[in-house]
């Protein structure tokens, strides 16, 4: 039915125009985000689930937004979980696998003992929702980890970025030694950190930007108490030392301090402002400002939150593609904590229909659909 008055017709035309430009703006912003991305690893794509499980990304985003609204710390837990997955054996969700008394899983290795149980539970809850929505085990646990990390950043005020998808999960977890050597210690200096990062294809800029993940979350006293006792580390400001001593008055105190003393639950560039003010919690944080290679990058991010956000998105995509399993490698785990039943060496536990879908998707990808 045509609008009955010229005024109404004009209003409708205006509304259509406004909606049109909003859609065009959203599409342009999406394209802008994509153009800043590093190269996508073979086998991953931005629309991997479009045909298989449309809506998968929105489900993860909604879950994380709601859950972080109730528990702010969960965002930090989810972000750290993705990092601990990727740095050990690649982004294959091996950190989620349960071990046994005879063969302890990655979660039993010391750096992982402080992973938040709420983050591990959230991944399983998201997996259940996706299983229901996608009618089966379609979205891998490793993709869920990558998406939940991104959405945690967004939920706390950080940058949005596109996550390439299509990772597959490993059926095996790493040894305790591999976890210990894969994850850098909070007492590490920049030389050691760069060594660890470079082996994974990450540069000094990635190290600084990704360390900016410490703009949210908490650290236990035992991760930094040696900087306080017996004598305070001289690269810490005296007022910061006094403040930390109120949280951790003696060696062995079981308490936690904010990683970002200024804005603990907000994803912003204050972490870098802290470093410039000698208020980094760990040696691995503060040395980024002491070291001549990384100092200018820290100063730059302390001045420009926009540039930090841009680089953080790029570096997260790089980190999220470390040694990914794709195509017919690995499996899509039905339960994130255990390998699929019947998994043996060389068997990915995947059913034929999923394999056919993988081949169809790969062909579509090559044709640029
Ligand atoms: C550069 C080397 C890194 C070292 C040495 C390091 C070390 C640590 C340590 C010791 C903690 C505190 C654990 C505790 O005492 O409870 C921690 C927490 C955290 N880390 Fe890192 N980290 C590094 C890089 C990263 C990266 C790359 C990210 C993510 C992009 C990240 C995200 C986090 C988050 C969000 C927390 C807070 C977790 C929570 O509150 O539950 N870290 N990190």
Q: pLDDT digits over 82-120, tens only?
A: 999 999 999 999 999 999 999 999 999 999 999 999 999
Q: Is the pLDDT of residue 195 over 80?
A: yes
Provide residues with CB under 6 Å of ligand 1: 73, 76-77, 79-80, 83, 114, 116, 184-186, 188, 193, 210-211, 213-214, 216-220, 223, 259, 282, 284
- CA separation, residue 217 to residues 105, 214, 265 (Å): 24, 7, 7
Q: From the CA of 351, how far away is ligand 1's center (Å)?
A: 37
Given phi > 0 = left and psi -120 to 50 = alpha, else beta, which region is 157?
Answer: left
| Whether residue 31 has pLDDT greater than 80 | no
Which one of the listed residues 50, 84, 132, 335 is annotated catalytic? 84
Q: Which residue's CA is the closest to the ligand 1 atom numbered 23?
A: 211
Cα 80 to middle of ligand 1, angstroms: 6
Position 50 confidence tier, pLDDT thresholds 50, 70, 90? very high
Task: Please say whether the beta carbons of 337 and 96 come within 8 A.
Answer: yes
Asked whether the predicted pLDDT for residue 61 surpasses 70, the reply is yes
Task: Assign 338 to helix, strand or coil.
Answer: strand
What is the structure's pLDDT at 17?
52
DSSP 8-state code for residue 189: -
Q: pLDDT higher for 345 or 70?
A: 70
Ligand 1 centre distance from Cα of residue 130 (Å):
28
Dihedral sign (CA 289, 295, 300, 306): negative
> Using CA positions, which residue lies closest to atom 14 of ligand 1?
219
For 297-321, b where at least 16 C-beta lie within 10 A, e where not — what string? Answer: bbebbbeebeebbbbbbbbbbbbbb
- The rounded mean pLDDT for the chain is 89
138-160 tens-digit pLDDT: 999 999 999 999 999 999 999 99
Which residues make Cβ contacts (< 8 Å) with residue 173, sequence separation at least 6? 89, 94, 95, 97, 99, 105, 106
Residue range 263-272, pLDDT digits in tens: 999 999 999 9
Write the burial class of residue 14 (CB in 10 Å: 0-12 exposed, 13-18 middle, 19+ buried): exposed
The radius of gyration of the chain from alpha carbons, rounded to an integer in Å, stands at: 22
Local confidence band at 355 (pLDDT 50, 70, 90 cut-offs): very low
pLDDT over threshold 50, residue 25: no
Three-class SS state of 256: strand
Q: Say whether pLDDT at 235 is over 80.
A: yes
Instruction: Quote the CA–CA distance of 90 and 326 in Å, as a whole number.
Output: 12
pTM as predicted: 0.87
Residue 220: active-site member: no
pLDDT for residue 15 is more than 90: no
């Amino acid at each position: 039915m045509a609008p009955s008055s010229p005024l109404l017709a004009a209003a409708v035309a205006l509304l259509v125009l406004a909606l049109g430009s909003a859609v065009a703006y959203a599409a342009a912003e999406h394209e802008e985000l994509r153009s800043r991305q590093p190269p996508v690893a073979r086998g991953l794509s931005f629309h991997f689930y479009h045909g298989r499980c449309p809506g998968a990304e929105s489900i993860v985003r909604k879950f994380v937004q709601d859950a972080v609204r109730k528990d702010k710390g969960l965002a930090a837990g989810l972000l750290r979980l993705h990092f601990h997955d990727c740095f050990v054996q690649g982004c294959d969700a091996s950190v989620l696998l349960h071990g046994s008394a005879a063969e302890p899983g990655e979660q039993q290795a010391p750096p992982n003992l402080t992973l938040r149980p709420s983050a591990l539970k959230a991944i399983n809850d998201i997996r259940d929702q996706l299983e229901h929505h996608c009618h089966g085990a379609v979205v891998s646990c490793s993709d869920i980890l990558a998406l939940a990390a991104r959405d945690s950043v967004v939920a706390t005020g950080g940058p949005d970025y596109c996550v390439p998808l299509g990772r597959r999960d490993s059926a095996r977890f790493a040894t305790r030694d591999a976890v210990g050597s894969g994850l850098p210690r909070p007492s590490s200096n920049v030389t050691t950190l760069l060594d660890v990062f470079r082996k994974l294809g990450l540069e000094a800029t990635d190290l600084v930007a990704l360390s900016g993940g410490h703009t949210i979350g908490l650290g236990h006293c035992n991760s930094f108490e040696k900087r306080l006792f017996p004598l305070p580390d001289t690269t810490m400001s005296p007022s910061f030392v006094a403040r930390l001593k109120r949280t951790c008055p003696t060696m062995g105190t079981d308490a936690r301090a904010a990683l970002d003393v200024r804005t603990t639950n907000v994803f912003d560039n204050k972490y870098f402002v802290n470093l410039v003010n000698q208020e980094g919690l760990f040696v691995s944080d503060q040395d980024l400002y002491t070291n001549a290679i990384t100092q200018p990058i820290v100063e730059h991010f302390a001045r420009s939150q926009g540039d930090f956000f841009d680089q953080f998105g790029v570096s997260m995509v790089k980190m999220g593609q470390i040694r990914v399993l794709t195509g017919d490698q690995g499996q899509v785990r039905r339960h994130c904590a255990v390998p699929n039943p019947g998994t043996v060496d060389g068997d990915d536990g995947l059913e034929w229909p999923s394999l056919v879908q993988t081949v169809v998707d790969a062909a579509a990808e090559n044709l640029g659909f």
